[in-house]
Amino acid sequence: MPAMCALLLALLLWAPITAVQGFLGDHCEFYPSTGLCENGATWDGIKCVCQTGFFGYRCQALLDSITIDTPETVNATVDVLVKVTYRNFTKDLENTSSKAYRDFTELFKKRMDKVYKDLPEYRHVSIRKLSNGSIIVEHDVILETNYTSDFQDVFKNLTKIVKAKIINETKSLLNADNCQGTEVLCYDEKATVVADTPQLSFDPQEQCMKNVAKDFARFYYVDELEGKLACVTKCTAGTKTQLNCNEGTCQLQRSGPRCLCPNTNTYWYWGQTCEWSTSKSLVYGSIGAVAVILLIVVVALSIFLGLSRRKLYRPEYNLSREWQAEEIPGSFQNRGIWEGKNLKEDRFGLGSTYSHFQPSLENMDPNIELHIQRPKVITAAQ
- Reported as a single tens digit per residue, the pLDDT across 200-237 is 999 999 999 999 999 999 999 999 888 889 999 999 99
- The pLDDT value recorded for residue 305 is 83
Quick check: 53 pLDDT over 90?
yes
Report the alpha-carbon distance of residue 310 to residue 194 in Å, rounded. 104
DSSP 119-159: -TTEEEEEEEEEEETTEEEEEEEEEEEE--TTHHHHHHHHH
The pLDDT, as a whole number, for residue 278 is 85
Backbone phi and psi for residue 67, each to the nearest 5 degrees, phi listed first: -70, 135
Whole-model pTM over 0.75: no
Q: What is the pLDDT of residues 89-145, one digit of tens each?
A: 999 999 999 999 999 999 999 999 999 999 999 999 999 999 998 999 999 999 999
Buried b (16+ CB within 10 A) or exposed e, 75-109: bbbbbbbbbbbbeebeeebeeeeeeebeebbeebe
At position 108, the amino acid (one-letter code) is F
Q: Is the pLDDT of residue 15 over 50?
A: no
Q: Where are the beta strands (DSSP E) in 272-342?
A: 276-279
Phi and psi at 290, nearest 5°, equal -65, -40
The band of 316, judged by pLDDT with boundaries at 50, 70 and 90, is low
